[in-house]
Amino acid sequence: MCQPQHPSVSSTPTNSTSTSFVNSIQTWHLNSAAFTVVATFIFVQFRALLRSFLTRNAQRMVRASISSLRGKLSEGGDMGSDRRKSSNKKEENGEEKEYVDKGVGSDLDMAIEEHDNILQQYPVELPYHPIKFTEHEMLKRSQLFYEQMKSRRSVRCFSSKPVSIKLVQNLIKTAGTSPSGANMQPWTFCIVQSPKIKRAIREVVEEQEQLNYTRRMGAQWVLDVSHLNVNWNKPYLTEAPYLIVVMKHPYYLDEQGERKPTHYSEQSTSIAVGIMVAAIQNAGLVTVVSTPLNAGSAIREILQRPINEKVSVLLPLGYPAEGVLVPDIRKRNIEDIMRIY
């Protein structure tokens, strides 16, 4: 018996379709890989250009900051004048001035060169000549200084006896020798001797201190200072012959009026205040460190100080009143405040 004949099915069309699909997939992968390589190359080049641009601008900003802090040397000014004269001669001779339409270029390059010249003329280091004592003298002087500082007290009652302004200036000069972050010296010492200004400062301080004692600080603060016999009333701000208002500079304003940060202004100013308190004791005068909480802005406006200055502390300065009393307190022993490693 004959078997029925079935038409044979050809596989050629199916194989052709599969091959085309595989080829298209391979082509897509190749195109994707090529695109990825090109995109990566462009990104790397762009990042390098951006980094170079930011580095150049950062260098210029550093130079400008250093220049604004140190000022221009007289030689630098003379050199700048010579360059300007040379530039004017070129213009008079008809020579084209580069970047004239951009407002940058020649003048900016000249300024950068002047800054470089200033940095070169400032010595990086100078010989240090310390005061020398024998070991016996050093021990004696340190002991005498300790005895002198041990008698220091915060005095809130002042005599009306006048104090020489020259003496006050010496105290401030001593405070000005204090170390500071990046040697920026972020402080201003305002000497207030006007009775009218002292009264105005006292009014704003007492107004805020009354709120501090009754609302802001809480009962614990009132209890902690009760044995010191202090309260929101601050008569010493007007009784003392001088009131030193110490201002700190959290930032400074450059020649264009832009803010530039200072470094460690809080710590630097605090060290300067500590040195001044020691100098006051050494001179035979007295003070009390007063912190005008929440009154700083009003005090700055009274003294018409710039916006970048903030009140740090108030130091009434003068002789102690006759028969003045101070709280009976003790300082901690050295065993309690020192550790040796």
Q: What is the pTM of this model?
A: 0.65
β partners of residue 290: 314
Q: What angle do CA 238, 239, 243 make, to 5 degrees?
A: 55
Complete domains list, the chain, with CATH: 71-90+104-121 (no CATH), 140-325 (3.40.109.10)
Order of strands, sheet of 242-248, starting from the edge strand that comes earlier in the sequence: 187-192, 242-248, 310-317
Of the candidates 176, 179, 157, the residue with the CA atom closest to the CA atom of residue 168: 176
Q: Which amino acid is at 272?
A: A
Sign of CA dihedral 196, 198, 204, 210: negative
pLDDT, tens digit only, all 341 positions of the chain? 444 444 444 444 455 555 665 566 666 666 776 677 667 777 767 777 777 777 677 667 756 665 665 554 444 444 444 544 554 554 455 444 443 344 444 444 444 455 555 555 666 889 999 999 999 999 999 999 999 999 999 999 999 999 999 999 999 999 999 999 999 999 999 999 999 999 999 999 999 999 988 888 888 877 888 778 788 899 999 999 999 999 999 999 888 889 999 999 999 999 999 999 999 999 999 999 999 999 999 999 999 999 999 999 999 999 999 999 999 999 999 999 999 99
